[in-house]
Amino acid sequence: MSERPRIAVLGAGHVGPAIARVAIAAGHPVTIAASGDPAKIALITQVLIPGAEPRWAADAVEDADIVVLAIPLHRFAAFDPALVAGRLVIDTMNYWPPTDGVQELFEDRRYGSSEIVQRRLARSTVVKTFNHTGYHELEAELRPAGAPDRRALGVAGDDPGAVDLVAEVVERVGYDAVRLDGLRHGRLLEPGGPVFGASMSRPEFERAVSAEAA
């Protein structure tokens, strides 16, 4: 693996391009794919995500170290798990019925949404992050390491090595990564959770999630 892991972003709406831009700024090679022909997003990529390479989805993930899943959640039921089999997948999606409508796949409240994603992507390793900050805030709130107003982001997953790799990306792009104990605690990052949409320092974030996880 190169010093900067190669990232494939699946989704060219709002969230995907924002993550692609901060990853490129942090020195990561980035490919991006929408649901079809990459020619359809070539111009928008050139203008809004300079440095990213538009590809077909299968080509984008082929040589990626990390795949960012940034598609609308209501499209996930039709997503092909084989596309990301054997891959480390960052789940940035949220289940928010007022926006997405009721999605039967995500209605089992025994599980957080990323646990449900992991169950469906059984041959992938899922890590949850980047879901609890607005795409419009992602670039504006970047800060260098050690800055007093640097914001924390949670990173939840069941595979410690995968969590560490994703946490390094989060740190590199400009946030303090707070590791959560297992994908089950990813629900703390979801809408209605204690840190969703909140700009917190690492100590504030850690206190908020530890109080809920206790």
Domain assignment of residue 181, yes or no: yes
Q: Domain limits at 53?
A: 7-213
CB 180 within 8 A of CB 155: yes
CATH code of the domain in which 110 resides: 3.40.50.720
Q: What is the pLDDT of residue 214?
A: 58
Residue 25, Cβ density class (10 Å: 0-12 exposed, 13-18 middle, ≥19 buried): middle
Per the prediction, the chain carries an average pLDDT of 95
Q: Residues 29, 34, 36, 38: is their CA dihedral positive or negative?
A: negative
How many Cα neighbours within 13 Å face the side chain of 17?
Answer: 16
Convert the pLDDT of each residue in 138-150 to its tens digit.
999 999 999 999 9
Name the pairing type of β-strands 152-157 and 125-128. Answer: antiparallel
Q: What is the pLDDT of residue 99?
A: 83
Q: What is the pLDDT of residue 1?
A: 46
pTM across the whole model: 0.95
Domain assignment of residue 72, yes or no: yes
Domain assignment of residue 199, yes or no: yes
Q: How confident is the model at residue 211 (pLDDT cuts 50, 70, 90)?
A: confident
pLDDT at 23 over 80: yes
Domain assignment of residue 2, yes or no: no
Interval 95-124 mean pLDDT: 94
Domain assignment of residue 131, yes or no: yes
Interval 189-195 mean pLDDT: 95
